[in-house]
Amino acid sequence: MDVMPKWAEVVLVPLISLLLAAILSALVILGIGEDPVAAVKLMVSGALGSTYGWGYTLYYATNFMFTGLCVAIAFHARLFNIGGEGQAMLGGLGVALACLYIPWPHWSLALIGAAAMAAVFGAAWAAIPAFLQAKRGSHIVITTIMFNFIAAAVLNYILVNMLRPQGSMDPATARFPDATKLPTLHDILAPLGIEFSKAAPANISLLVAVAACIFLWVLIWRTRLGYEIRAYGHSESAAKYAGISPVKITMIAMIISGGLAGMMAINNVMGEAERLVLNATEGAGFIGIAVALMGRSHPLGVFLAAILFGFLYQGGAELALWTSIPRELIVVIQALVILFTGALDNMVRMPLEKIFLALRAARAPKPERKPVEPAE
**Contacts to ligand ATP by CB under 6 A:** 221, 296-298, 301, 371, 374-376
Rounded to whole angstroms, how far apart are CA atoms 211 and 48?
23
In angstroms, what is the minimal distance from the CB of 255 to another protein?
18
Residue 339 touches which member of Mg ion, another protein, ligand ATP, none, C-beta under 5-8 Å by kind: another protein
Among 118, 130, 164, 260, binds another protein (CB under 8 A): 164
Among 37, 162, 192, 321, binds another protein (CB under 8 A): 321
Residue 169 touches which member of ligand ATP, another protein, Mg ion, none, C-beta under 5-8 Å by kind: another protein
366 scored as a contact of another protein (CB under 8 A): no
Q: Which stretch binds another protein (CB under 8 A): 35-43, 184-192, 250-258, 337-345?
A: 337-345
For 330-349, b/e burial (b = at least 16 CB within 10 A) is beebbebbbebbbeebeebb
In angstroms, what is the minimal distance from the CB of 120 to another protein?
21
In angstroms, what is the minimal distance from the CB of 243 to ligand ATP?
21
Rounded to whole angstroms, how far apart are CA atoms 38 and 200?
24
Residue 214 CA: distances (Å) to CA of 221, 260, 274, 302: 10, 13, 26, 11
102 scored as a contact of another protein (CB under 8 A): no
Rounded to whole angstroms, how far apart are CA atoms 72 and 213?
11
Kindly write out the interface string for residues 104-143 of this chain, putting x where it contacts another protein by CB under 8 A and - elsewhere: ----------------------------x---xxxx-xxx
List residues near Mg ion by CB under 5 A.
376
CA 185 from centroid of its chain's CA atoms: 20
- Do residues 151 and 132 touch, judged by C-beta distance below 8 A? no
Concatenating the DSSP letter of every residue in 197-251 gives -SS---BTHHHHHHHHHHHHHHHHHHSHHHHHHHHHHH-HHHHHHTT--HHHHHH
Residue 330 touches which member of another protein, ligand ATP, Mg ion, none, C-beta under 5-8 Å by kind: another protein
Residue 201 touches which member of ligand ATP, another protein, Mg ion, none, C-beta under 5-8 Å by kind: another protein
In angstroms, what is the minimal distance from the CB of 318 to another protein?
8
277 phi/psi in degrees, rounded to 5 = -110, 165
Q: Which stretch binds another protein (CB under 8 A): 107-115, 116-124, 160-168, 256-264?
A: 160-168
Give residue 373's identity as a one-letter amino acid code. Answer: E
Among 169, 193, 195, 362, binds another protein (CB under 8 A): 169
- Applying the rule CB under 8 A, the residues between 272 and 301 that interact with another protein are 272-273, 275, 277-280, 282, 286, 289-290, 293-294
Residue 298 touches which member of Mg ion, ligand ATP, another protein, none, C-beta under 5-8 Å by kind: ligand ATP
Rounded to whole angstroms, how far apart are CA atoms 261 and 264?
5
Q: Which stretch binds another protein (CB under 8 A): 99-107, 147-155, 182-190, 207-215?
A: 147-155
81 scored as a contact of another protein (CB under 8 A): no
In angstroms, what is the minimal distance from the CB of 372 to ligand ATP?
7
For another protein, the closer CB: 109 or 247: 247
Instruction: Give the gyration radius of the chain's Cα atoms.
Output: 23
Among 124, 154, 188, 210, binds another protein (CB under 8 A): 154
Rounded to whole angstroms, how far apart are CA atoms 34 and 46?
17
Q: Residue 246's closest CA among 233, 262, 263?
A: 233
Half-sphere exposure of 187 (CA within 13 A, CB side): 11
Rounded to whole angstroms, how far apart are CA atoms 132 and 139?
8
